Each structure stands twice: as C-alpha cells, then as structure tokens.
Structure 1
Amino acid sequence: MGKQSERGRQEGKRRSLTADESTTPNLLRPSSPPLKNHHLQPSFLLVSQEAPSFVHKRSPFLRSRSQTLIFFLPGMANPTPPTVLLLLLSFSCISTAQQSCSGDSFSQNRFFSLCNTLPQLSANLHWTYHPSNATVDVAYRAAQASNGWIAWALNPSGTGMDGAQTIFAFHDSNNVMTTVTYPITFSNTTVKNSSLSFKVYTMDAEFSSNSMTIYATIELPGNKTRVNHVWQASTSFSNGMPNGHATTGPNVQSTATLDLLSGESSSAGNSRLHRKNRHGVLNAVSWGVLMPIGAIIARYMRVFKSADPAWFYLHVACQCSAYVVGVAGWGTGLKLGSDSKGVTYHSHRNIGITLFTLATLQVFALLLRPQKDHKFRFYWNIYHHIIGYTVIVLSVVNIFKGFDILDPDNKWKHAYIGIIATLGALPCYLRLSLGA
C-alpha cells in the first residue's frame, strides 16, 4: 500500500508539471534546441517596393506593392540594424528614382493616365488621350525659378524647334502665372500671343515649390498618337515675353518623339548629340592630331639620311589621311548646320570654312610641287610652310571652340590638352637632341 501511494503521488506530480508547462506563455517556455550550424542558416527580409514609373496609372500593378525578398548570405544570419537600414534606404532610393513622374500630384484633383520623365531640364510630362474626340489633356511640369519661364510644344512638321506649336508659362507683370501660345519659326522667334495650328480648348499654369506646371487640353493634329514634342526653359525675357534660351547642353537636346498610347519615347536630341560627338571626334583626330604629327615627321625625320625618302611618304600619307578624315568631319558639320536653322556658331563655322579651304589648297599644292633644283621651289616651300602651320593653329583653336559648344566632360578636354602638350614638347626635345 505504501509503495502504491508513493507511485500515485509521483504520477500526480508529473501530471501537475505537464499541466503547468501547457499553460506557460510561449515567451517563458524553454526554447527549442538550436539548429546545428545555425550560423550558416540564411535569413530573409521582406521589403515592399512601389511599382516602377512609366506604366499606366490605372493599372492594378500601381495600386499594389511588389514584394522584394532580401537574402542574407551565410555569416549574416543576424543582420545588424545598420545593415537592414542601409538596404532599406537603397531600395527607397531605387523606388524614388523609378517614380520621378508617377509621384507627381496636381491641384484641383487633376488626374492623368500616363506620364513620362523627360531626359532634359528636370521635367515631367503627364497626359490622358481621348481617342473619341482626338484630344489630349496635358500637364507639363519643370523645375524653374519664379523669374523664369517654361514651354512645351508639339511639332507637327518636324522634330526640332522650327515649326513647334508652343505653349509658354511665366509670371506676368502682376506676378500672376499666365500662359501664351506662339508657333515658333526660325524666321520669327519673337514671342507674342498667337494662335496655333491646332485648337487649344483649355490652358492655365501654376507655380509651386520652385516648379512651374502647364495644363492644357489640345486637339491632336490628325489624331496621330505618335507626336514630336519639344520642351524648354529659360530666364530670358524681352518686353515681358519669353526671349531666347541657352544654345548648348540640355536646352538644345530637349526634343523627343512620344507614343501617346504606350508612353514610349525616343529622344531626337540624343541622335543629334551623337552626330555632334562624331563631328567633334573626326575633326579632333584629323586636324588636331594627324596634321601636327605629319608636320613633325617632315620637319625632324628628314635630317636622317637613312630616312629619305621614307619620311616624305610618311608625311604625305599622314597629311592625306588627315585631310580625308577631316573632309568627313567637315561634311557632318555642314549637315548639323543645315539641321539647325536659327542656331549658328559663327566663329566656329567661319574658322572651319577657312581651315577646309586652306587644307584643300595644301593638298592640291602637292601636285604642283617643283623639283628641288627648280627656281620656284624656294617660293613653294614658303607657301607650303605658311599654309601648313596656319592650318595647324586654326585647327587647335577651332577644336577648343568645339569643346565650348559641345560642353563634354572635362576629361575629354584634358585628354586633348595632354595630346597637344605632348606634340608641342616633342619638337622641342627633338630640336635639342638633334640640333635641327
């Protein structure tokens, strides 16, 4: 009996302990044994990220959030708060960059179906296309100070400024935002309130937080959904009206072709910039590098008797190559000029024409080169040297004028300065070494 009662008391105690464990809160209960190699177990962090811009604003994708799973590699099983914060900030920056236009909000609860972040002048374009009546509601927003103006235009006849049917917005003399319309042509760029080639049903503007916005409902010319548009900004005025803008950099690249249905955009400014860069590279290599090298060969290689007549053929090959490449560069310059009516870089153009003329005379002078013992050889040498050195000097001057027009990264200008400095130092070294 004693043993049975003892066993009963022990079983009761075990049941009591089991009941106590079942009622103990989870946080107070002993934790389960750790996993083996727990430091190699990957960790995950689920982050919500906004949908990217350039999509239809009515799409369900914009109303929901996409979830991104961040995977921590082994050794990062317990990421520190700074690590998590850094990752969250990175995703936040990505999301912000993607939503540069879709995050815009407008007064009077205006809403637009599509938007596009424009590549120049810190501007966004929002629109809603109405196929039933061939109209489009537009909101063009650009960063601008209160003393400046902005403009947006459709160009039914081209891809640039000439023929652009433009809407301007700026503060008038009473410091009230106002809008005017004017069809820009290269023959007349003086802005005055004039009718456009298509109907403008509504139009107004506002200024807020160092940004100006143009609102307009316009007739879509020919109900074409693929349009050429131009946008602009400046602080230049004449008689209270917008007047002129910068003729370099983003202000001459702010044009594109836009599909109003898909929102896809192709920048005409980028194509033009590529042609400008091609023009600059061809001329820098030809007139600015090959031509001086050819002159150095003729001046310092001929002192070696063993190099005769090799130096002459190298000189001719180098100069003729420079001329051929230079003709290609000059041709691209002519094409750029014909496509840029109303925008003329007078000094760059005039030096280029003079340079090409002298270089052509220099090449053809090769056909009239007298023999060494001819009585006119002395005068031919004078002519040849004067024209040759003049071409080199004009080439370098015009290349730097081209740098000012293109306004590329400083590294390109510094690289060319290094090349010219080397080509200038080489004759000095050869003169000291050879006594030539």
Structure 2
Amino acid sequence: MGKILTLLFFILISNSIISSAQDCNTYTFTNNAIFTTCVTLPVQNSHLHWNYHPTNGTVDVAFRHTGVSASDWVAWALNVDGAGMVGAQALVALPDTNGSVQAYTSAVTGYGTTLQRSALSFDVPVIRAERDGNGDVIIYGTLVLPGGRTSFNHVWQMGPVSNGAPGAHAMGSENRNSVGTVDFVTGQAGAGGGVGGSLLHRRNTHGVLNAVSWGVMMPMGAMVARYLKVFKVANPAWFYIHVTCQVIAYGVGVAGWATGLKLGSDSEALKYTTHRNIGITLFVFGTLQVFALLLRPKPDHKYRIYWNVYHTSIGYAVISLSIANVFKGLDILDPEKKWKNAYLGVIITLGVIAAILEAFTWFVVLRRKNVEKEQVNGAYGANGYGRHNGHNSTA
C-alpha cells in the first residue's frame, strides 16, 4: 500500500512538472513559430521565448502575457545600461478598439512615461503583436543586440489603457518585482529586485521617514505632555522632553514630506490624491504647531486658555491624520504583510500604554484633589472657622 501511495505521489509531481513545462516550452503559436528557448518569468503570468542568432547578433523574441484583459496594455523591455524602468527599451502591445493589438517601440526616459512611440537605442527590424484565443497577448520582435552583448536586465509590465494610451500600471508587489536578468546564449533568466530602482528606494525612504516621525514620534511626544506633567517632580522636564520629541518628529516628517513631493513630480502618471492631501494637511498643521510654540503665552496670561485649546486640538488632529496616512501609505507601497503588522503592533502598544497612563493619571489627579480638600478642611477646623461655637463673644 505504501509503495502504491509513493508511486501515485511521484506521478502527481511528474504531471505537475510536465504541465508547467508545457505551458512554456510546448505552447503552440498561431503562426507555427518555433522557439528553441523559453523561460517562465517569476511574476505576472508571463513567459519569454527566443531564438538567438550568433552569426548576426540578433534574437527573435516572443513575450507572452497570459490572461490579459482586452482593455490592458502589455510591455517587455531590455535595459541596456541600467536596471528597472528608467532607461528601458520597450516593446509595447496596445489593444485597439476593433479588438486587434498593435505593437510599437518606446524608450522609457522617466517614471512619468505614457509609453509614447519612439525609437530604441538598438534596431528592431520586426515587431508585431497578437491576442490568441485564450486571451494571451504575445509581442513578437527581432532585436539587433547592442555591442555584441547577450546578457541584459529586462522588465515587463501590464496596465490599463486610458484615453487610448497606456495608463499607469499598479504598484503591487508583482509589478515591483517584474524585473530580472536574461542571457540569450545560456538561456538563463534570474529574478531581480523591485521595478523602479531608485524610485522604489525613495518610496521606501519616504514611507520609513513618515512612519517614524508622524506615525510614532508624534504620538509619543503627545503622551509625554499628557501624562508626565501631572507629576510635580517631572516639571519642567516633561516640557523639554515634549518639545524635543515633537521638533525632531517635525524635522524628520518634513524630510519625508519633501521626498513625497519629489516622488509626485517624478511620477506624474501616478495619483494618490487622498494620501497627498492628508500629507499636505499634516505639514500645514505641524508648521502651525511650531509657530504656536514660539507664540506660547505665559501660564497666567488671559489668552493662555485659548492657546491651550488650539494647541491640543491641532495636536490630536495631527496624530489622528498621521496614523491614518501611514496606513494609507502602506496600502500604496504594498510591502510584505509583516511591515504593516509591525506598525499596527506599535500603534496598539502605544494605545494600551496610553489607556493605562490615562487611568493612572486620573487616579493621581483625583487623589491629589481629595488630599488638598482634606488639608483645606483641616486648616479651617484648626483655626476655628466654619464652626458654630467658633465666634463666641467675651463681651
């Protein structure tokens, strides 16, 4: 019985391997084209087929993206001098209104590209595209490989069509990881880092700066002011700790805000309106808080109560918007789930600590009021005030 189960297991595994191989190596092209080499790319249900011709340094390629919507564009590109999106020399397949697919070349020079038609840095004497009966889009091309090279970085993408032109693709993990290396001689293809290179690095930097400053340090600074100042022994240390924490958070937050502005200018095709508007509001509120610190009235000033209301209201608004915008940014970046869980854990921890300190603070304040009340009553009793027989006349 055990041998039979083992045999069935190996048959199942073999069938899976064969099925996977057939998806790449035994795919039947509509024009009966045959490609000697094929690799299944690691993400986005894509495959790359090719024939390399060493005599003239050319390669015939067929990039196949499976299950593509009739309203989506597809692109595959070599990056001759770099990695990622900028500098990519792309073959693009764009769906037409009549159901056909048109192919053209586009040299990507920036992150805000709309994949406009342009010549590449190497010759592409043949290019065409088609959609098969299964919904797969295939781009065929003959490339004259530059400089006698055969190994390159390459990228591939899919995105929606907007007003008849390629729109911005999504920024999910598969899109960011649609990059790798390919060697047309050895047939080896390796996975690479996230698409976008320096752009992704700046996006991550932007996220970390803002999560640490607005999302963690600001709430911690507010907790210092809320819970330490009730202890007389902490006065005025709590104030300087509070100011130091908030000023550092504001400085780091401004750096994160600036990287966000740069990202926006470099990626005009990508619009995250809500995230951007909240970020602008946070910068304005944070700046108002800095000016409020400079204009803070003395504790006994008649306008101090109004300043307190203003400062507290803006402060809590900043904290609420900060936490919401950090989660909004995490949804945009779409990192590994552990990072979102880590930030959620930090916020929950701060919330639990705040709840405990809130209860303890009220206990201290109420107890102090009772002690002060008892002391006042004791003082009245010791001096004879408030008693019916405390004002007896000797006259």
Answer whether TM exceeds 0.5 for this pair. yes
Q: Aligned pair 1:345/2:345, yes or no?
A: no
Aligned to 1:306, which of 218, 221, 233? 233
Inter-CA distance 127–327: structure 2 relative to 1 (3 Å threshold):
farther
CA offset at residue 216 of structure 1? Answer: 0.9
**CA contact 1:257–1:267 (8 Å) conserved in 2:** no
Spell out, residue by residue over 1:314-370, the C-alpha distance to the aligned partner (whole angstroms, 9 max, x if none). 434543453455456446545644654543434423433443454356457656666
CA offset at residue 125 of structure 1? Answer: 1.8
Structure 2 segments unaligned to the other structure (5+ residues): 366-395
Inter-CA distance 380–137: structure 2 relative to 1 (3 Å threshold):
same
So what's the TM-score if we normalise by structure 2? 0.70
User: What are the equivalent positions in structure 2 for 1:318-329 lying under 5 Å apart?
Assistant: 318-323=245-250, 325-326=252-253, 329=256
2:128 matched residue in structure 1: 204
User: What are the equivalent positions in structure 2 for 1:36-55 lying under 5 Å apart?
Assistant: none
CA offset at residue 88 of structure 1? Answer: 4.7
1:280 matched residue in structure 2: 207
SS of the equivalent of 2:48 reads strand
Q: 2: CA distance between counterparts of 1:160 and 1:338?
A: 18
SS of the equivalent of 2:195 reads helix
Structure 1 segments unaligned to the other structure (5+ residues): 1-77
Aligned to 1:123, which of 46, 67, 85? 46
Aligned to 2:61, which of 135, 138, 144? 138
CA offset at residue 217 of structure 1? Answer: 0.4
1:243 matched residue in structure 2: 166
Spell out, residue by residue over 1:350-403, the C-alpha distance to the aligned partner (whole angstroms, 9 max, x if none). 433443454356457656666545677656545543443332233123213213
Q: 1: CA distance between counterparts of 2:255 and 2:277?
A: 17
Aligned to 1:396, which of 323, 330, 341? 323
CA offset at residue 124 of structure 1? Answer: 1.7
SS of the equivalent of 1:200 reads coil
So what's the TM-score if we normalise by structure 1? 0.64
**CA contact 1:149–1:170 (8 Å) conserved in 2:** yes
Q: Aligned pair 1:315/2:242, yes or no?
A: yes
Spell out, residue by residue over 1:248-295, the C-alpha distance to the aligned partner (whole angstroms, 9 max, x if none). 213455344545455354334285556534532442232112211221
Q: Which moved more, 1:305-314 or 1:140-149?
A: 305-314
SS of the equivalent of 2:221 reads helix
Q: Which moved more, 1:145-154 or 1:405-414?
A: 405-414
Q: 2: CA distance between counterparts of 1:396 and 1:430?
A: 20
Aligned to 2:114, which of 184, 189, 209? 189
CA offset at residue 110 of structure 1? Answer: 1.5
SS of the equivalent of 1:209 reads coil
**CA contact 2:87–2:107 (8 Å) conserved in 1:** yes
Spell out, residue by residue over 1:104-134, the C-alpha distance to the aligned partner (whole angstroms, 9 max, x if none). 5545242234x44333321122333445433
CA RMSD of superposed structures (Å): 4.1
**Bigger radius of gyration, 1 or 2?**
1
Q: Which moved more, 1:97-106 or 1:211-220?
A: 97-106
CA offset at residue 153 of structure 1? Answer: 2.8
Aligned to 1:218, which of 120, 143, 149? 143
User: What are the equivalent positions in structure 2 for 1:227-266 lying under 5 Å apart?
Assistant: 227-236=152-161, 238=163, 241-249=164-172, 250-251=174-175, 253-256=177-180, 258-262=182-186, 263-265=188-190, 266=192
SS of the equivalent of 2:315 reads helix
Q: 2: CA distance between counterparts of 1:84 and 1:317?
A: 69
**Equivalent residue letter for 1:315:** H
> How many matched pairs?
355
**Equivalent residue letter for 1:230:** V
Q: 2: CA distance between counterparts of 1:422 and 1:199?
A: 58
Identity %: 50
Inter-CA distance 213–308: structure 2 relative to 1 (3 Å threshold):
same
**Equivalent residue letter for 2:249:** A
**Equivalent residue letter for 2:326:** I
**Equivalent residue letter for 2:74:** I
SS of the equivalent of 1:267 reads coil
Q: Aligned pair 1:269/2:195, yes or no?
A: yes
Inter-CA distance 199–382: structure 2 relative to 1 (3 Å threshold):
same
